[in-house]
Amino acid sequence: MYLGHFSLREAPYSITPDSAFFYPHEGAQAALNTLLVALRSGEGFLKIVGEVGCGKTVLCRQLLKTLQGECVTAYIPNPDMGPDDLLMALASELNIKLLPPMGRHSVLNALRDCLLQHAQEGKSVVVCIDEAQAIPLRTVESLRLLSNLETEKHKLIQLVLLGQPELDTKLARPEIRQLMQRITFSEYLGPMPADRVPTYLTHRLATAAVDAHTDIHVFEADAARAIATISGGVPRLINVLANKCLMLAYGEDVHRVTRAHVHLAARDTPGVVPRRPWWRRLWPGHFNRDAARVSSAALTEPIRSKS
């Protein structure tokens, strides 16, 4: 690996969602602020929707880290389960010991007693449900039942749903409109702005550095701009490209990542923005007209018999 070559103690561009590497670009910080303000105001249902790879899980873990000691928190990473299983998973996260028989009524009662106990101690309970677009429709009713757990003045449990855009499509279905009406705050998490990508790259290098003397300006300016363009600002793709670039630089025994390294990495990375050949960038109109003529000829050419 290249860690020693660049004086790093850990891989800076791992795609594992580590809150230590959380980078507060405008979109991520706005989403985090919305969640914190809403939760501290006692709101019951919140929603974060974001595209694939834009950092929803890292945001979730940063939220849980920020709330540590302030609230009782629970995290459900995969809600693709039946209604009763979701309730039992939540009970497990809250360290509730369930005694048989474990029907839905008994599990809800155990959850209510636990939540009341935390409320008496002055602590709210925040549950983050990641990949919420995977929640089966039949399980949504369990979420609604949980949101009903409240005192005369306060919610006993606060739910944060984080999911891909398909979550909005699911919540718009008429049969679960009751749940949609309970969501009081919603935020969208998209790709980071291109001008933030160079700072993001150095931020992660600084976080992974052995000490303060480590050189964190590894990416040349045009290389960082190329990563911003090719990745479309999607953090996961930025990490994949940056990791491959460091491997290429290490293989060449150099300490700077150039634009050439970025384009080599992009060739081996699915999902990045395709790069047009140089001649199409110089004369885009000429080739568009040629393509149009070919397409028009194909449409007007008479069908020939195979005989």
Return the minimum-mean-pLDDT range out of 135-139, 204-208, 278-282, 290-294. 290-294
- Kindly state whether residue 17 falls inside one of the protein's structural domains: no
Query: Which of residues 166, 189, 212 is at a domain's end?
Result: 189
Residues 213 and 101 occupy one common structural domain: no
Residues 145 and 72 occupy one common structural domain: yes
Sheet of 183-189: strands edge to edge? Answer: 72-76, 125-129, 158-163, 45-50, 183-189
Residues 141 and 250 occupy one common structural domain: no
- Kindly state whether residue 4 falls inside one of the protein's structural domains: no
**Mean pLDDT (whole number) for 89-114:** 88
Residues 119 and 58 occupy one common structural domain: yes
Residues 143 and 222 occupy one common structural domain: no
Residues 260 and 219 occupy one common structural domain: yes
Give the closest residue to 144 by CA, choosing from 171, 117, 123. 171
**Which residues make beta-bridge pairs with 127?**
74, 159
Residue 210 CA to residue 36 CA, distance in Å, equals: 32
Q: For residue 5, what pLDDT is reported?
A: 96
> Which residues are CB-neighbours of 6 under 8 A, at least 6 positions away?
205, 214, 215, 218, 246, 250, 255
- Kindly state whether residue 291 falls inside one of the protein's structural domains: no
Residues 64 and 185 occupy one common structural domain: yes
pLDDT at 144 over 70: yes
- Kindly state whether residue 216 falls inside one of the protein's structural domains: yes
Residues 124 and 153 occupy one common structural domain: yes
- Kindly state whether residue 272 falls inside one of the protein's structural domains: no
pLDDT at 289 over 60: no
pLDDT at 38 over 90: yes
pLDDT at 216 over 50: yes
- Kindly state whether residue 290 falls inside one of the protein's structural domains: no
Return the minimum-mean-pLDDT range out of 25-34, 153-162, 170-179, 254-263. 170-179
What six digits make up the tokens of 52?
A: 């694939």
Residues 180 and 38 occupy one common structural domain: yes
Query: Which of residues 155, 189, 223 is at a domain's end?
Result: 189
Query: Which of residues 144, 169, 189 is at a domain's end?
Result: 189
Angle between helices 26-40 and 56-67 (to 10 degrees): 40
CATH number at residue 46: 3.40.50.300
pLDDT at 209 over 90: yes
Greater model confidence, 198 or 288: 198
What six digits make up the tokens of 181?
A: 């009406």
> Which residues are CB-neighbours of 139 under 8 A, at least 6 positions away?
79, 81, 82, 83, 86
Q: What is the pTM of this model?
A: 0.84
Q: For residue 292, what pLDDT is reported?
A: 45
Q: What is the domain range of residue 33? A: 24-189
> What total number of domains does the chain contain?
2
Residues 207 and 184 occupy one common structural domain: no
- Kindly state whether residue 250 falls inside one of the protein's structural domains: yes
Residues 175 and 209 occupy one common structural domain: no
**Mean pLDDT (whole number) for 185-198:** 95
**In whole angstroms, what separates CA 43 from the centre of its chain?**
22
Residues 224 and 94 occupy one common structural domain: no
Q: For residue 34, what pLDDT is reported?
A: 94
- Kindly state whether residue 83 falls inside one of the protein's structural domains: yes
